[in-house]
Chains A and B, each alone.
Chain A
Amino acid sequence: MTSVIAASGLRKSFGRKAVLDGIDLEVGAGTTFSLLGPNGAGKTTTVQIMSTLVRADGGEVRVAGHDVARDPAAVRGLIGVTGQFSAVDSLLTGEENLLLMTALHHLGRAEGRRRAAELLEKFDLAGAAKKTAATYSGGMRRRLDLAMTLAGDPRIIFLDEPTTGLDPRSRRMMWQTVRELVAGGVTIFLTTQQLDEADALADRIAVLDHGKVVAAGSPEELKRSIPGAHVRLRFAGLTGLDVAERALGGGFRHEDTLTLEVPSDGGATAVRELLNRLGDTADEVEQVSVHTPDLDDVFFALTGRPSAPTTTADAAQTTTEKENAR
């Protein structure tokens, strides 16, 4: 594999807080690499260092062979960056924003206009081309942001949580764009806290937690690396749950959902044997489901914590925290 992005021993602290604690990454040319982790894991800082915005305290990053600290100008000529917060000029129209980008990429006037029109069409912004970005919805701003990133035809693109807060349609569009770009030979470095996103798009995933890479590999490798499937038994009441737990001598008990998770390969024989061991208590079981491991389990197994906030209240709170952190 020829790596286009290679980081070794990357470290960064803000004040006394270590945000990155020695991370090593390698991204192959023309592949999608996903850095997966919860809020505060260090994903944005990694992207900022790799895209020359922030200097690392230690370690080295090479992008297409150029050291980001020693030769940032060479790196900037090859990359495109779309951050978590749309970096568009609200006072300019969508079209003017794109023309600003093509002018800064030193495209000629006619070529710039052609490119801008093409991107407006592609990102479904042609109808709003003459409106100022201040009037755009969140999804439209994000699409304009990505279109601006693509204006210079970069070969390496950093996407920092590109779908956080997007509506499902814009999210699909973003995924589609990523796939098209990779098909065209572009290398994508994507951060996300959504496991399904990494699973759907990435060739390789690195799981980042508290500034350290806790696991890396293809989605399949990561799923293989954790204990197998389990059977989930849901009960009508606590009594059934208690009796079943005693009868089976173990399992993970979730009182809030009245379920018991029992390690199992999920095959028919194993399930029948499990129910036989329950005996009469089997009648108390409302539902039996077989759960094969997904990246959520990988994350839980690696870090001992669930991957991402699940309730909207939690999500809203973490968004506020991020905004305050800026």
Chain B
Amino acid sequence: MTTLAFAVRDSATMTRRSFRQVLRYPATLVTSVGVPVLLLLLFVGVFGALKAGLGAGSHISYIDYVMPGIIVMTVAYGSSGTALALNRDSTEGIIGRFRTMAISPASVLTGHVVSALVRTLISVALVIAVGIGLGFRPTGDAGRWLAAAGVTALLVLALTWLAVAVGLAAKVAEGTTGFLLIIQLLPFVSSAFVPPGQMSGPVRWFAAHQPFTPVIDTLRGLLTGTPDGGTALVAVAWCAGLALVGYLWARALFRRDLNR
């Protein structure tokens, strides 16, 4: 077999391993679907009555407005499982074992990332299904749905590679909580629940410029037909940039000497 064929085969083995870990303790899966659904119920229940104040998109119902933000939060919660899995690998020493074996070195991290991608997209699909049950009425056609899936997948890659690096960098599992807190809180200060135009001063500036806002606006545009204000390119650039940073950081951590 060629080097590439071995790399693919090793990556498939590592992906199966990661799936097996998730299925053995499905708690991660349940939280990554359950928490966003809970937030959805909470926000629709509390703010659903407020039709006014959604700015340009005020013709849409609140659940339609909030759904893209919930999708992004599902992705954020999904990445926490990846950070913890990498941290377990690294502190248990099994990464050291893999590094002394004649396998494709990339497969160790690739396996986790592929499994996270599949797992998170399934979570997102489940959350959307619940949303539809609660009255979410997307208007997009097949092409727009596909584009939305692509943007979501790109966001998963960005947050997952960052989570891989954070998991490898942390000496103990608790070390990953800072990162998780940041990516789980950031959507609240974005266009997820309230249009940034309604926020005050510095918060508005932050909400308008942070990476989640263009991603959410792009998803909203694709799924509900609101004008996205040309954010798609910004969203893709943010995701690609973050994915690259996460990937390079994770690769450097994976290759470093163990004793430092």
Residues of A within 8 A of B (CB): 14, 45, 48, 51-55, 73, 76-77, 79-81, 83, 85-92, 96, 100, 103-106, 132, 148, 152, 325
Contact = CB atoms under 8 A, between A and B. Distances in A.
Nearest to A158: B100
B257 interface: yes
5 contacts: A48-B258, A52-B100, A53-B99, A81-B97, A325-B259
Contact of A104 (B13, B24, B92): B13
B83 to A, nearest CB: 15
B102 A76 contact: yes
A19 to B, nearest CB: 8
A77 B102 CA distance: 5
A81 B96 CA distance: 9
Contacts, number: 74
Given A52-B100, A77-B102, A92-B21, 15 more contacts: A53-B99, A83-B96, A85-B92, A85-B93, A87-B92, A87-B96, A89-B21, A89-B89, A89-B92, A90-B92, A103-B13, A105-B101, A106-B6, A148-B97, A325-B259
B144 to A, nearest CB: 39
Interface of B: 1, 6, 9-10, 13, 17, 20-21, 24-25, 88-89, 92-94, 96-103, 257-260
B96 A53 contact: yes
B102 A91 contact: no
A42 to B, nearest CB: 11
Contacts of A92: 17, 20-21, 24
The prevalent SS among residues of A at the interface is: loop
Nearest to A84: B93
B251 to A, nearest CB: 16
Nearest to A45: B259
Contact of B101 (A76, A86, A325): A76
Given A88-B92, A106-B6, A81 B100 contact: yes
Contacts of B9: 106
Contacts of A152: 101
Nearest to B93: A87
Nearest to B107: A104
A77 B101 CA distance: 7
Contact of B13 (A89, A91, A100, A148): A100
Given A90-B88, A90-B92, A55 B257 contact: yes
Listed residue (A76, A77, A86) with the most chain B CB atoms within 10 angstroms of its CB: A76
A73 B146 CA distance: 41
A154 to B, nearest CB: 10
- Complex A-B, nearest 5 residue pairs according to Cβ-Cβ distance, in ascending order: A77-B102, A87-B97, A87-B93, A76-B102, A103-B13
Nearest to B9: A106
Contacts of B20: 91-92, 96
A54 B259 contact: yes
A106 B258 CA distance: 27
A14 B13 contact: no
A49 to B, nearest CB: 10
Nearest to A77: B102
A259 to B, nearest CB: 41
Contacts of B89: 89
A92 B258 CA distance: 24
Nearest to B103: A104
Contacts of A148: 97
A322 to B, nearest CB: 12
A54 B257 CA distance: 5
Given A51-B100, A96-B20, A152-B101, A91 B94 contact: no
Nearest to A151: B101
Contact of A14 (B92, B93, B98, B260): B260
Listed residue (B20, B24, B98, B259) with the most chain A CB atoms within 10 angstroms of its CB: B259
Given A14-B259, A14-B260, A54-B259, A89 B17 contact: yes
A73 B106 CA distance: 13
Nearest to A52: B100
A132 B13 CA distance: 18
Contacts of A88: 92, 94
Contacts of A55: 257
